Amino acid sequence: MNWHMAKRMGVVLAVALLAACEDNGGDTEKPDGGGGGGKEASAGPGLGSSTAQPEGAPFTLPAGLTLETPIKSYSPEDPVDCDNKFRNEGKGSGEDVTLCLIFNNTTGGPITLTLPPGLIFVSKDGDIQNGLLAQRVTIEVPAGGRFFVPMFTYCANQPRSTSGIGQAYALGPVIEYPAFKEMYSLLEGKTLERPDVAPIQVAVSHLTSGEGLSASDRAALKAL
């Protein structure tokens, strides 16, 4: 595949993902928790239309490993801000929130880091999307020096803008609502290709807006 074809495919996928993230299907009750009363297109704090800080199980890094803050969004097509690491060297999947994680391992040997599905990266700008990790990710961080990891995540907030370049993020909690756990289970162990991102983003959008997975979502995820 030449670069012209790759570029065209990237544009088509980006348009499809933008439409998927904006597909909120109308306002629904929050089914799984979240502060505040009334109706809004949100499954809980920090998801969908909610501007609150996300809530969930706390996540901590193992001893001897630190993550430089703030985490910054970057362009995988021009990865100068992420040690010139391109998409094929990245972790996770998703197109709307692309981040560069910079680790420092202060021990004398490598550290194996596991990031759980549901880990959310929280934008410091309330107009920019939070990023949700949909699958478990394992990273081996070598000892010494800065270690750069491109991280690809899904749009967790339909009304907000995509991450762009240089937006600041923080490592957030793990989203563990039952409906989300169903998606994580359906994706567990699957090897994903770039076109697989679109149906996953549709499912994430349904979850974060409070609708839950549809029958078509389940069928699409099982087929990946």
List pLDDT tens digits, range 139-195.
999 998 899 999 999 999 999 999 999 999 999 999 999 999 999 999 999 999 999
Query: What are the CA-CA distances from residue 219 to residues 190, 203, 214 (Å)?
Result: 14, 11, 9
- In this predicted structure, the answer to whether residue 24 has a pLDDT above a threshold of 90 is no
204 secondary structure, DSSP code = H
Distance in Å from the first CA to the final CA of the chain: 23
Distances (CA, A) of 138 to 96, 171, 187, 193, 218: 21, 16, 15, 17, 25
pLDDT of the residue at 39: 57
- pLDDT for 95 beyond 70: yes
- The per-residue pLDDT for 26 is 37
Q: Are strands 91-92 and 131-132 parallel, antiparallel or unpaired?
A: unpaired
Residue 101's alpha-carbon distances to 148, 168, 194, in angstroms, are 6, 11, 20
Q: Which of 128, 131, 166 lies closest to 151, judged by CA?
A: 131
Structure tokens at 137: 């990710």
Q: How far apart are CA 213 and CA 217, in angstroms?
A: 6
pLDDT at 22 over 90: no
Give the span between the Cα atoms of 51 and 42, in whole angstroms: 10
Tell me how far apart the alpha carbons of residues 157 and 210 are, in angstroms, rounded to a whole number: 11
Q: Taking residues 117-145, report their average pLDDT.
A: 97
Task: Please tell me whether residue 175 adopts helix, strand or coil conformation.
Answer: coil
Give CA–CA dist 170/197, Å, rounded: 23
151 in Cβ contact with 100 (< 8 Å): yes
Q: How confident is residue 216, by pLDDT bands cut at 50, 70 and 90? A: very high
pLDDT higher than threshold 60 for residue 15: no
Average pLDDT over residues 123-129: 97
